[in-house]
Amino acid sequence: MGILVDEDTKVVVQGITGKEGTFHTRQMLAYGTNIVAGVTPGKGGERVEGIPVLNRIKDAVDIYGADASCIFVPPPFAPDAMLEAADAGIDVIVCITEGIPTLDMIKTVHFIRKCGAVLIGPNTPGIISPGKTKVGIMPGDIHKQGGIGVISRSGTLTYEVVDQLTRVGLGQSTCIGLGGDPIVGTSFIDHLRCFKEDRETKGVVLIGEIGGTAEEEAAEYIEEELNKPVMAFIAGQTAPPGRRMGHAGAIISGGKGKAEDKINALKSHGITVVLNLGQLGKTALQVFKDSCKSH
């Protein structure tokens, strides 16, 4: 099954005529994603890779039945693109764009939630249900269809983890990049709830990083609500104290958000934490051996 997106998802690409939009539209089509339309205001009537370009996303919904959006729009215009998608009735909005002002995102996330849509990102590699569809920029060839759900705050770490899982024979049900900005549309818990209900998902890998308290909150939810095995890796274990690192979301403040805090919280709730990233695949075989057969 996978969660949120599958082979029946009809995708519209916002910003399809731009360099990034065109390139990744080509990559998504090659993977098998069902892209039904693109949107670039003022360029309606054109075609990109055979995909019709429209002026409004509402037309993509009304004419082609689009229910998911992938956004490649520059930061000043990305909030309006997300708002337009939610207002048009899009169910899943994936915003690849990074560098969107935090104040703009606060208002945007509030509106999207009010509309009942799911926002993945911004500053995300997207979401993929291997063998079915990918909505984003992740390399499709490292993924393998199977029973492990992956949720990550880091795009590139997602690729490393997925590659290790695939190499040891553990396929994935759905892999999601939450996004690296301070304000993102969904949390670990949002997707853990979906994985809990998904019969195909037999276990979950959670990839966190320093900053915030999302991992600690997820640990509590996992112990109380999730009846599937979970393992985790926390990036930033060697981050110098007081140094601002990497993602805008990876900011330690108020004495909270350190890697050690997250690791201890996860372990205290019975979750296996991998300290050495190079051992993740091997550890996953042990953690999931009883619940997920190799594919």
The Cα–Cα gap between 120 and 93 comes to 6
User: What is the per-residue pLDDT across 206-221, written as a single tens digit (0 to 9) for each?
Assistant: 999 988 889 999 999 9
The Cα–Cα gap between 99 and 264 comes to 32
Find all residues with CB under 8 Å of 39, minimum gap 6, and list them. Answer: 12, 13, 14, 15, 16, 53, 54, 55, 56, 57, 60
Residue 106 has pLDDT above 50, yes or no: yes
Closest-CA residue to 205 (of 151, 277, 283, 140):
151
User: Which pLDDT does position 242 carry in this prediction?
Assistant: 56
Q: pTM of this prediction?
A: 0.93
User: Which pLDDT does position 92 carry in this prediction?
Assistant: 98
The Cα–Cα gap between 17 and 102 comes to 26
User: Which pLDDT does position 290 carry in this prediction?
Assistant: 74
The Cα–Cα gap between 44 and 53 comes to 5
Between 266 and 155, whose confidence is greater? 266
Query: Of these residues, 191, 247, 269, 295, which one is catalytic?
Result: 247
Q: Report the chain's mean pLDDT, rounded to a whole number.
A: 92
Residue 291 has pLDDT above 80, yes or no: no
User: Which pLDDT does position 62 carry in this prediction?
Assistant: 98
* Share above pLDDT 70 across residues of the chain, in percent, rounded to a whole number: 92
Confidence of residue 289 (pLDDT cuts 50, 70, 90): confident
Which residue has 């990839």 as its token pair? 207
Q: Cβ distance 188 to 226 under 8 Å?
A: no
Residue 100 has pLDDT above 50, yes or no: yes
CA angle 223, 224, 228 (to 5 degrees): 55
Give the chain's domains with CATH numbers: 11-120 (3.40.50.720), 138-288 (3.40.50.261)
Active site residue 143: no
Q: In this predicted structure, which of 121-130, 165-174, 236-245, 284-293 has the lowest mean pLDDT?
A: 236-245
Residue 293 has pLDDT above 80, yes or no: no
Give the SS3 label for residue 192.
helix
